[in-house]
């Protein structure tokens, strides 16, 4: 199943996307439920409820404005750094070369504030050179938790996955380095485009898909999730150690090689650039940087 959050006739809806991706049918829910996108549906399902009934009329996807499937995340988005082998190598030759972090020992985990989430076609606001002029893209598969829990074992972890979506973990590299931690440089307004919808785990195996990123039509990133240093079960096990995960929590699993910082010379995003992220089995998001 694909669940989308969207606006139609100036109202937010959450609905089911057709198998061909051409139409969406709204769930019959209150405005308050729809305001949170797929979140309230996931919470209800995990509490033993059922999906709401669907409206009788489908709407063409081209006639709606798709939004992030979880436009108001319940809390910060969990993110993982340097989680593809080739990406870890490219950053080892960058300004991060002096880092003492052993990327093979434990995942690097940080967060992005929920307010940075925007939709799959929304513009991303460059902050201006006085704040940062080293803005980078990071195409990522995001896991959406269904069944919550704490101290989840890797063996049981996939039972806790509700589905998947796409995020672009946009990053201000100079701010990331300046503060010697990553949250601030990752959390600027609009720095987490997400979408185009949520694909449930029964329709997509996130451990075997492919992540691609194009900048102005040029392929920059292309990596299969089989190349993750720490796979999805390991990430869930690690993040849930002593910390309760809740339905609707989001885990961005890391980005493949090819980020702007890793190029020689580095190539950071400029006003007018368009970044497209594609993941097999989900679809794509495409955002203009302004």
| CATH code linked to domain 77-288 | 3.90.850.10
* Residue 120, SS3 per DSSP: coil
Distance CA 252, CA 116 (A): 14
Distances (CA, A) of 16 to 48, 122, 161, 162, 205: 20, 21, 19, 15, 19
Q: What is the pLDDT of residue 290?
A: 98
For residue 180, the model assigns a pLDDT of 77
Amino acid 23: pLDDT: 98
Place of tokens 């074992």: 153
Which stretches within 130-286 are classed as H helix? Answer: 173-178, 183-186, 232-239
Mean pLDDT for each consecutive 10-residue tract of the chain (290 residues)?
Answer: 97 97 98 98 97 97 98 97 81 56 79 98 97 97 98 98 98 90 93 98 97 98 97 98 98 97 95 98 98
Q: Which of 260, 283, 246, 64 is nearest to 170 (CA)?
A: 260
């Amino acid at each position: 199943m694909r669940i989308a959050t969207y606006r139609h006739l100036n109202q937010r809806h959450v609905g089911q996307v057709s198998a061909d991706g051409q139409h969406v049918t709204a769930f019959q829910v209150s405005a308050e439920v729809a305001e949170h996108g797929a979140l309230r549906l996931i919470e209800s399902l995990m509490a033993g409820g059922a999906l709401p009934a669907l409206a009788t009329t489908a709407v063409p996807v081209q006639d709606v404005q798709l939004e992030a499937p979880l436009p108001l995340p319940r809390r910060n988005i969990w993110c993982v750094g340097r989680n593809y082998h080739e990406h870890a190598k490219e950053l080892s030759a960058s300004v991060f070369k002096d880092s003492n972090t052993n990327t093979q020992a434990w995942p690097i985990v940080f967060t992005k504030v929920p307010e940075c989430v925007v939709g799959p076609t929304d513009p991303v606001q460059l902050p201006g050179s006085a704040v940062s002029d080293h803005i980078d893209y990071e195409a990522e598969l995001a896991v959406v938790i269904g069944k919550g829990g704490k101290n989840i074992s890797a063996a049981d972890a996939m039972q806790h996955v509700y589905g998947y979506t796409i995020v672009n973990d946009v990053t201000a590299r100079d701010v990331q380095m300046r503060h010697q931690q990553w949250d601030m440089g990752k959390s600027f307004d609009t720095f987490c485009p997400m979408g185009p919808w949520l694909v449930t785990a029964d329709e997509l195996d996130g451990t075997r898909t492919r992540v691609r990123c194009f900048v102005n039509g040029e392929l920059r990133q292309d990596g299969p999730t089989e190349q993750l240093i720490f796979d999805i079960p390991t990430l869930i096990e690690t993040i849930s150690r002593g910390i309760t995960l809740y339905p609707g929590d989001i885990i961005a699993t890391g980005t493949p090689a090819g980020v702007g910082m890793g190029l020689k010379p580095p190539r950071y995003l400029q006003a007018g650039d368009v970044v497209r992220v594609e993941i097999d089995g989900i679809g794509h998001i495409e955002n203009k940087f302004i």
